[in-house]
Each structure stands twice: as structure tokens, then as C-alpha cells.
Structure 1
Amino acid sequence: MKELLEELARRLVDEPDAVSVEQFEEDDGTIVLELAVADDDYGKVIGRGGRTAHALRTVVKAAAVKENRRVLVDIVE
């Protein structure tokens, strides 16, 4: 899931080398993925009205269902 989010984000932004994803696991087994991109690329990752961010979360959650896991995607600065 981490690799999926990283690849999708790299294809959206102008500076793919600045994309990083940190993965953490909470006590209840939930996986938290924190996505960070270059300052100029946050608008591309979030999208108009948050549509792109919502789509990214939907795709990653669909991948998590295959593994019977719960995942949260945070976009951090």
C-alpha cells in the first residue's frame, strides 16, 4: 500500500523525487500512511475541492481491503 501511494503521488506531481511516504501502525492494527510532497505540489495532490486526495484515499483503502487491513492516508506538510 505504501508503494502504491508513493507511485500514484509521483505521477501527479512536478517534483517526483520530493515525494515521501512514512508508514506507521497504530495499536489497533490500523496502518497510517503520511504523504509529503514538495511545497508547490500540495495543490496537485489535494486537487480541486479535495477530489484528488479523496481518490488517492479510495484507491489505497481498496488495496487494504484485499489484505483485511484498515488504512488511513494523511497528507502532511
Structure 2
Amino acid sequence: MNTKELIEYVAKELVEKAEAVEVKEIKGVKSVIYELTCDPSDMGRVIGKDGRIIKALRTLVKAIASRRGGETVELEVID
């Protein structure tokens, strides 16, 4: 499972409208940006109380990236 699939899987498990979850991967020279979009009614579930869920997901994604080769990785939630 690659990083994009992992983000998509976790997000779909958190939301009620899983069909609206989409992850776009934007590759740069030494960085990758993942843009996560979901239904506006599910935004709170993805972000979590005080941003705890999205912070945990970002930490997980960065840990995976550093283990796989040290690319700079960012995860953005697009509303």
C-alpha cells in the first residue's frame, strides 16, 4: 500500500460519505503534497477535535516518508 492509498483508506474509514473522499498527489523535485478532499459535512471528522486526527495522520504520513527515502511530505485538507 502506498502513501496515497493509506491516506485515502484512513479518511474513508473516518467519514460517512466515503465516496466523496479523494486524494491528489502532487510531486515536486524533493517533495510530495497530498491534497485530501471530502464532503463538507465530514470535514470535522477528518480534522477532529482541536485538529488531533489530521495531526496524527500527518505525523503518520511523514514517518512513512522518512522511512522510505526522506522526501518532504505535506498533507493538506482542501475544503
Structure 1-normalised TM-score?
A: 0.93
Gaps of 5+ in 1: none
Aligned residues: 76
In the TM superposition, structure 1's runs of 4+ consecutive aligned residues that sit over 6 Å from their partners are none
Q: 2:34 corresponds to which residue?
A: 33
Q: 2:13 aligned to 11, 14, 27, which one?
A: 11
Where in structure 2 are there 5+ consecutive unaligned residues? none
Aligned partner (choices 63, 70, 77) of residue 72 of structure 2: 70
Q: Give 1:26 shift.
A: 2.1
Counterpart residue type for residue 45 of structure 2: K
Cα distance in 1 between the residues matched to 2:73 and 2:41:
26
- Report sequence identity in percent: 37
TM normalised by structure 2 equals 0.91
**1:7-59 deviations in Å (ceiling 9; x for gaps):** 010000001110000000123x1000000000100000000100011011011
